[in-house]
Amino acid sequence: MKKGGKRRFFSGFTLVEVIVTILAAAIMGVIFIQFMGTAMSRSTEALENVRDETNAEALMEQIVADYVLEINKADPTLALKAIEDRNYGPNVAKAYINFDAGGVEQVLVPPNKSRTLKITVQAPGNRLVTLLTESRQAGPPDSPPVAY
């Protein structure tokens, strides 16, 4: 106490409190940076998945457009064969299939064929499937085209 009996209190932080606060903030910063670095590196995976799925959808649309073009030609019975013969790349699988009375899919081994061609487009984490059928018989030249 000072003379006269008055007490003086100093407000503020001690050096130890300041150092502890700085160390705690540094540790929290390192943890945050580590977490954000992991999150940022994983964020590209989502973008790549969307890109791959978009490419697969575009390829499937191209296959269906080619099929519509073929089925609208003079002899639509050749449409499935034309699609089967085209090379759409390694991510496209083609197989002729039938369904039994119970609705179970049966893949036919070549040279066996049916009127249904199953097209599967693979993308990482995704698989797009469509069934193309010989649904149109050769008819009069004025028959309406198949719509896409």
Asked whether the beta carbons of 81 and 67 are under 8 A apart, the reply is no
Position 140 confidence tier, pLDDT thresholds 50, 70, 90: low
pLDDT at 94 over 90: yes
Strand partners, 72: none
User: Averaged over 62-76, what is the pLDDT?
Assistant: 87
pLDDT tens digits along 12-44: 888 898 999 999 999 999 888 888 877 766 677
What CA–CA distance (Å, rounded) separates 90 from 104? 26
What CA–CA distance (Å, rounded) separates 5 from 3? 5
Q: Give the list of residues 6+ apart from residue 100 with CB closer than 8 angstroms, or none.
A: 106
Strand partners, 110: none
pTM of the model: 0.64
3-state SS, residue 45: helix
Among residues of the chain, what percentage have pLDDT more than 90? 34
Position 87 confidence tier, pLDDT thresholds 50, 70, 90: very high
